[in-house]
Amino acid sequence: GQQLNQSPQSMFIQEGEDVSMNCTSSSIFNTWLWYKQDPGEGPVLLIALYKAGELTSNGRLTAQFGITRKDSFLNISASIPSDVGIYFCAGQGQGSNYKLTFGKGTLLTVNP
């Protein structure tokens, strides 16, 4: 089945630093999504990408849908303590209009 490789697994940064994480897939996706999960909560959608090459921003977050349709990255600029959490990428593949494949997540820790 489809698999997503998400990296890095964890990051420890200082407040104010920029962060980048990415996901790669063994197959083509039609949609890339980035979620954030806080402790004890379900994932919350941050950014959705629908076209190859698409670059989308949401405040300090920027994500891109790779040209090959097999990868995506998420950047967080000027990190703040509340950015702490687990970030997941997810992809929706060809032939499915509802099933998502999730990466294993990137645990972000921000030191104030």
Identify which of 92, 57, 88 has the alpha carbon closest to the alpha carbon of residue 75: 57
State the Cα–Cα distance between residues 21 and 7, nearest whole angstrom: 6
Cβ distance to another protein smaller for residue 18 or 99: 99
Report the interface residues with another protein, using CB under 8 A: 4, 6, 31, 33, 40-45, 48, 88, 90, 92, 96-105
Cβ at position 89, least distance to another protein in Å = 9
CB of 16: closest distance to another protein in angstroms?
28
**Angstrom distance (rounded) from CA 14 to CA 78:** 9
Q: Which is nearer to another protein, 6 or 64 (CB)?
A: 6
Contact 83, 96 (CB under 8 A): no
The structure tokens 């593949």 sit at 93
Complex with another protein: residue 79 or 92, whichever CB lies closer: 92
